[in-house]
Amino acid sequence: MGTNFITAQQVSKSFGTKHVLTDIDLTLPAGTIYGLIGPSGAGKTTLVKSIMGMEKVDHGTVTVMDAVMPNRQVMAKIGYMAQSDALYETLTARENLTFFGQLMSVAPKQLKQTIAYAANLVNLTKDLDLRVSDYSGGMKRRLSLAIALIQNPNLLILDEPTVGIDPELRQQIWEELNNLKATGKSILITTHVMDEAERCDYLMLIRRGIALAQGTPAELKAKYQVDSIEQVFLKAGRLQDADHSNR
């Protein structure tokens, strides 16, 4: 277990009578980029929040870095990027980064350095002293990513990190994610962009709260006998609709 950053077993969650997650198993070893793909409303964000310990699961257990979630201390070790940009618009980007750095217990001496590193990574260095209210949508997204990286965490949980980011920068970000992976960090990423799914080491197809398929991109393509993840997704979806016992 020690090598796995995340272990989720039989996780179920419902809001009222609506089943949002049904018996999800997920294992994230060190040095892996794990992709959660699925349409909006599939339960990706709920799964992410359950792993973070922000949502209480009805059944099953979630363990992050050997600690059973929810656990407040473990949160300091997770770099989290929410689906919506949760930024203080009246403050500058630097002030936002400083604030979250302080909350993440980054030592005051290191703070300046880590802000410079994170800003450089998302290409915001020259706009650091602008107020967030003057930022474009893409810039806000990048700032959110920089905030997730502020305490140099070993585990990154990114909820739709590349929405609204132009292809060139997306390329850069993925390169950086691969660099982080090479240093032994793990990344859990949700997306509905299929070409991003191809870049993940391991994928989970999730639809209507059910894990339809799990495996490396190559394994999935072989299993469904198609040649792109997009087609895997479509085929798996059709099979789910045809097979009502799956629901």
Partner 1 sequence: MRTIAIVKRVLKQMMRDKRTLALMFLAPLLIMSLMYFLFQNNTTQTAALGVHGVDNAVVKAIDTKHVDITHYDSAAATKMIRQHDLAGYLTQKNGKLTITYANSNPTDTSLIKASLQAGLVKLRMQTLVKATKAQKKALTAQQQALQKLVKAQSAETVTKLKAAIAQAQASGNTAQVAKLQAQLKKVTAGSATKTATAKKAPTYSTASHYLYGSSDSTFFESFLPIFLGFFVFFFVFLISGISLLNERTTGTLSRLLATPIRRGEIITGYLIGYGIFAVIQTLLTVTFAITVFKIHLVGNIWLVFLINFLLALVALTFGIFISTFANSEFQMIQFIPLVVVPQIFFSGLIPVSGMATWLQWTAHIMPLYYGANALTDVVTKGADITAIGGNLLVLLGFMSVLTILNIVGMKRYRKV
Which residues here bind partner 1, judged by CB under 8 A? 52-56, 70-73, 75-76, 78, 80, 82, 84-91, 95, 99-100, 102-105
Rounded Cα gap, residues 235 and 241, in angstroms: 10
Q: Which is nearer to partner 1, 72 or 244 (CB)?
A: 72
Nearest-5° angle of CA 181, CA 61, CA 64? 30
Rounded Cα gap, residues 124 and 196, in angstroms: 22
Q: Which is nearer to partner 1, 132 or 211 (CB)?
A: 132
What's the closest the beta carbon of residue 102 comes to partner 1, in angstroms? 4
Q: Which is nearer to partner 1, 62 or 165 (CB)?
A: 62
Rounded Cα gap, residues 56 and 70, in angstroms: 8
DSSP line for 89-136: TTSBHHHHHHHHHHHTT--HHHHHHHHHHHHHHTT-GGGTTSBGGG--
What's the closest the beta carbon of residue 240 comes to partner 1, in angstroms? 30
Radius of gyration of the chain (CA): 18
Q: Which is nearer to partner 1, 78 or 180 (CB)?
A: 78
What's the closest the beta carbon of residue 87 comes to partner 1, in angstroms? 7
What's the closest the beta carbon of residue 71 comes to partner 1, in angstroms? 7
Token representation of residue 44: 């990706």
What's the closest the beta carbon of residue 227 comes to partner 1, in angstroms? 38
Give Cα separations from 195 to 171, 184, 192, 199, 231 (angstroms): 11, 24, 9, 7, 11
Q: Which is nearer to partner 1, 28 or 82 (CB)?
A: 82
Residue 40 burial (CB count, 10 A)? 9
What's the closest the beta carbon of residue 172 comes to partner 1, in angstroms? 24
Q: Which is nearer to partner 1, 3 or 73 (CB)?
A: 73
